[in-house]
Structure 1
Amino acid sequence: MSNSIEFAPLATSDPMDEEPITTKPTPRPKRNTLSARVERLTDAAISGLGPVLITIAFVLLSTTIFCFFTVFLPFHYQWKAGEGLFGNWAYILNVIWSWYLVWGIIGNYYFAVRTPPGAVLDGVASTGDAMFQDVLQEMETYTELPPTCKRCHLPKPERTHHCSVCKRCVLKYDHHCPWIHNCVGFYNHRYFVMFLTYLSTACVYFVLMGAGPFMLAADMDSENTWPYWLDQSIVAFSEVLAVAIGIAVGGMACWHWYLTLTAQTTLEQYNNAYIKKVCKKRGEKFTNMYDFGVIGNLQDFFNVGPRGHYPWYTALLPLRIPPIGNGKRFERSGRGYVLDFGEEDEDMPILALQIKAELENVTELIPADADHTWHFKVQCTKCRDIDSNLITFNAIDKAEMGSGRGESNLVMRCKFCKCEISADFASKPIPYNIENNDRFATIVTIECRGLELVGFEPREGWKAKGAESGTVFEEIDLTDGEWVDYDEKSEMPVGISKIEAKFVKVK
């Protein structure tokens, strides 16, 4: 089941976000649904595998490097005594090139593993125990109140996302990589990309240099003597491994170079791809607000050239070079596309949530409390994006809308077109009675501004009454789509099943 989100003032579109900090928050209880448990187990497994995968990577790299310098290179080039440097130029160039690749692989891999990707509060957020005064000091650096991460309760700058494996918000988050036991983020992104680049290049070189020794090992029989100390099986394994890694890592390297040249992260690319489709349908052009062209993007990424602080050649060396800025604010090209949808913004339809269910010996199905949390799927009416997460809000809590337009039960921003959308409960909940069995009936109405409700999940927090006995059944959980119990007073089984929902426009 998708993660839900509770909204508060100045909420934005990111899941599990957006509550301004007013005091040191109390940790929220963990969800105990099956999907939540599977998610936590998966994250724990990925985190636990990190050191194991790093060890495996070290062993494989060491084996292939040793194989190259003891078998592959001597197979093609050997030092010719008495011919001097000029007579051995091919051998010297290949040795220099080989060690340069090794340096690039090991150096960038080490930096990718050991460099923290960047946290909102360096040295504080990573411990999971940020002091309140540190949070306030961080907030003072912003001219506008930033959104707040619901999971770690810290300010959330632009391009920052929460990593469920590392349990922290990461600046300019790209993804979590188990092979480096680290997130790929603002401070170590260049090392990760260059590690992929050097490794894929080395694999191509390794495969070409190893073709001859591999064929020799395959053609060897008992009558011939293998001329190298390293066993034939290891040589064959190294060649096959280089082919496999070259294909996998090469594809990943190409993908990350595309993202680098277009000034995107992996997450941003998915968002931008959707906006491009919307713009194409409208006959308009989308441009990424962080895109300064191929040359400008390379300068920003590697901190080189006129836009950076280091010479161009440093991009090709595995040196510890910091990126431009602090990872919390980014220069914008001024060409970012903003979707404009005109007067449609003022449309404020009222939607009736109707459900149909099969009630067995119970009636008056209704939320148990006035602050019942409702779970909806939300679609922006402007760009037509459907949020991938369940959006939650209730009829009691209010959030301030932008530009002083008042308060609403739900205030959020669409993650794609960034417009503010909101909703309010227009009526109190209406009980669903047994007389409506297998028929749709309205249980609540909601006024929407800039959004449509396109999905509903009942989840927990409902109550019903025995149809014959009047016994009240509280804390009914409909997460699995059904509920069963036994009415001791009437001595009859009771239950709710076959729940369906739809939305009807009533205004």
Structure 2
Amino acid sequence: MHRSGATMAWNVFKFCTALRGLGSIMILLVLGVVGVTYYAVVLTNYGPALYDGGFDSVIAVVVLIVFHFLLVMLLWSYFSVVLTDPGCVPPNWRPAVDEEGGENDPLNGSEFSSVPADPSHQRIRYCRKCNELKPPRCHHCSVCGRCILKMDHHCVWVVNCVGALNYKYFLLFLFYTFLETSLVTLALLPHFIAFFSEGEIPGTPGTLATTFLAFVLNLAFTLSVLGFLIMHISLVAGNTTTIEAYEKKTTPKWRYDLGRKKNFEQVFGMDKRYWFIPAYSDEDLRRIPALQGLEYPSKPDFDSEEF
């Protein structure tokens, strides 16, 4: 039994190491899709259309302006997720109050252990892997090898965990990716249909193949990202994460569900000027502790013993 457990631990370690290596490849893949799309939309089709004159030139101008705007926002959001630390437990962190509701806390699991605490704390969340206390809604990531504040999931596409400090950026990445890929799909649809027409199609075999590939890739991303976007919108509305939803803790009695407006503000902030950019205002960072990933307000009438 001991040998089997050791083998399993070794296999998990190899799997986590492989995910770390895969991450760099995924960044190159994302940039590759962006490059193919840019070549098909700008250089092959709508760039040359600027010189055609008439209505076609007007359409080309509109498509290119919107395309470049969405591309900038997409890449800004993407690299914000990649480069922003999702949030880690500060050294020697100690809870001020028992925010997890004592022994009946629904998030207490096998990875938690009772540790010495003052009498007001019946049980404190503790990570055996990191050997440190865990703030509320914090989970250990085996790929990153550390505890992540308000961890949602580890995403190989961004080579990073998605947590308290970069969750908004991840959502904006999904949002702008959906808009960009939808635009590209619609913009290249007439050219895609032309492949199946009987008339002669202008362009070299290379440009035609690039246009065909860009259309298929963007259509696939549009459909897949839409599903993820809808899922995360529902998670934000209920003030929960993918991990918490998987653990089936998002009941009507979920302590952190403060209503859709306040739940939204705990991810995007209160300053409307910053809602659609991967950044927060200094004022929001001061007045919304949840954005820092350590403190989360709960329902004032919440009674943990009902669980």
1:165 to 131, 143, 150: 143
Whole-Å Cα distance in 2 between the matches of residues 329 and 320 of structure 1? 17
Whole-Å Cα distance in 2 between the matches of residues 329 and 56 of structure 1? 36
C-alpha change, 1:250 and 1:202, in structure 2 (3 Å) is: same
Q: Helix, strand or coil for the counterpart of 2:129? A: coil
Does residue 296 of structure 2 align to residue 317 of structure 1?
A: no
Once the two structures are superposed, the pairs formed by residues 121-132 of structure 1 within 5 Å of their partners are 121=90
| Partner amino acid, structure 2, of 1:196 | L
Q: Helix, strand or coil for the counterpart of 1:316? A: coil
Does residue 68 of structure 2 align to residue 99 of structure 1?
A: yes
Once the two structures are superposed, the pairs formed by residues 427-438 of structure 1 within 5 Å of their partners are none
Could you say which structure has the larger radius of gyration? 1
Deviation at 1:338, TM superposition (A): 3.4
Residue 110 of structure 2 corresponds to: none
2:222 to 208, 231, 246: 246
C-alpha change, 1:96 and 1:319, in structure 2 (3 Å) is: farther
Runs of 4+ aligned residues of structure 1 deviating over 4 Å after TM superposition are 29-32, 86-92, 320-323
| Partner amino acid, structure 2, of 1:102 | L
- CA displacement 1:427-466 (0-9 Å, x = unmatched): xxxxxxxxxxxxxxxxxxxxxxxxxxxxxxxxxxxxxxxx
Once the two structures are superposed, the pairs formed by residues 83-482 of structure 1 within 5 Å of their partners are 90-121=59-90, 134-135=91-92, 138-139=93-94, 142-144=96-98, 145=117, 146-219=124-197, 224=200, 226-227=202-203, 231-272=207-248, 276=251, 286-304=252-270, 310=271, 312-319=272-279, 324-325=288-289, 326-336=292-302, 338-340=304-306, 417=307
| Partner amino acid, structure 2, of 1:234 | T
Deviation at 1:252, TM superposition (A): 0.9
2:50 to 60, 71, 78: 78
Whole-Å Cα distance in 2 between the matches of residues 327 and 181 of structure 1? 20
| Partner amino acid, structure 1, of 2:225 | V
| Partner amino acid, structure 2, of 1:99 | H
| Partner amino acid, structure 1, of 2:86 | P
Deviation at 1:228, TM superposition (A): 6.8
C-alpha change, 1:73 and 1:262, in structure 2 (3 Å) is: farther
Deviation at 1:186, TM superposition (A): 0.6
2:13 to 37, 40, 44: 40
Which TM-score applies when normalising by structure 2? 0.79
Deviation at 1:65, TM superposition (A): 2.2
Residue 365 of structure 1 corresponds to: none
More helix by share: 2
Whole-Å Cα distance in 1 between the matches of residues 225 and 180 of structure 2? 11
- CA displacement 1:263-284 (0-9 Å, x = unmatched): 11011113345x74xxxxxxxx
| Partner amino acid, structure 2, of 1:269 | A
Could you tell me whether the CA contact under 8 Å between 1:148 and 1:155 is conserved in 2? Answer: yes
- CA displacement 1:20-46 (0-9 Å, x = unmatched): xxxxxxxxx998533222222211111
Q: Helix, strand or coil for the counterpart of 2:132? A: coil
Q: Helix, strand or coil for the counterpart of 1:33? A: helix
Could you tell me whether the CA contact under 8 Å between 1:119 and 1:168 is conserved in 2? Answer: yes
Whole-Å Cα distance in 1 between the matches of residues 244 and 281 of structure 2? 24
C-alpha change, 1:296 and 1:207, in structure 2 (3 Å) is: same
C-alpha change, 1:60 and 1:267, in structure 2 (3 Å) is: same
| Partner amino acid, structure 1, of 2:298 | R
Identity of aligned residues (%): 25
Deviation at 1:225, TM superposition (A): 5.8
Deviation at 1:220, TM superposition (A): 7.0
| Partner amino acid, structure 2, of 1:257 | I
Could you tell me whether the CA contact under 8 Å between 1:67 and 1:230 is conserved in 2? Answer: no
Q: Helix, strand or coil for the counterpart of 2:147? A: strand
Whole-Å Cα distance in 2 between the matches of residues 219 and 89 of structure 1? 25
Tell me how many residue pairs correspond in the alignment. 277
More strand by share: 1
Query: RMSD value over aligned CA atoms?
Result: 3.0
Where does structure 1 lack aligned partners over 5 or more consecutive residues? 2-28, 122-133, 277-285, 305-309, 341-416, 418-507
Could you tell me whether the CA contact under 8 Å between 1:161 and 1:169 is conserved in 2? Answer: yes
Whole-Å Cα distance in 2 between the matches of residues 87 and 203 of structure 1? 21
Where does structure 2 lack aligned partners over 5 or more consecutive residues? 99-116, 118-123
Whole-Å Cα distance in 1 between the matches of residues 77 and 3 of structure 2? 37
Deviation at 1:244, TM superposition (A): 1.2
Deviation at 1:143, TM superposition (A): 4.0
Deviation at 1:238, TM superposition (A): 0.7
